[in-house]
Amino acid sequence: MSNDRKTFDIGRDARTGRLIPVAEAKRNPSTTTVERMPKPGRGDTK
């Protein structure tokens, strides 16, 4: 069985909702969040 994750981390600006790099999101924790998104083709993963 593979150890690859089915999701990847992505940053999101809390004010605009736009996706941003994770490094930028970690620099501004008060206005951003880091989310996990499913990789393409994986659909809704838990």
29 domain residue, yes or no: yes
Q: What is the pLDDT of residue 45?
A: 58
Structural domain range at position 29: 7-38
Q: What is the pLDDT of residue 1?
A: 56
pLDDT in tens, 2-46: 668 889 999 999 999 999 999 999 999 999 999 999 888 877 656
Q: What is the pLDDT of residue 30?
A: 95
Cβ density class 10-38: b for 16+ within 10 Å, e for less: ebbeeeeeeebeeeebeeeeeebeeeeee
45 domain residue, yes or no: no
The terminus-to-terminus CA distance of the chain in angstroms comes to 17
Domain count across the chain: 1
2 domain residue, yes or no: no
Quick check: 13 and 31 in contact, CB under 8 A?
yes
11 domain residue, yes or no: yes
44 domain residue, yes or no: no
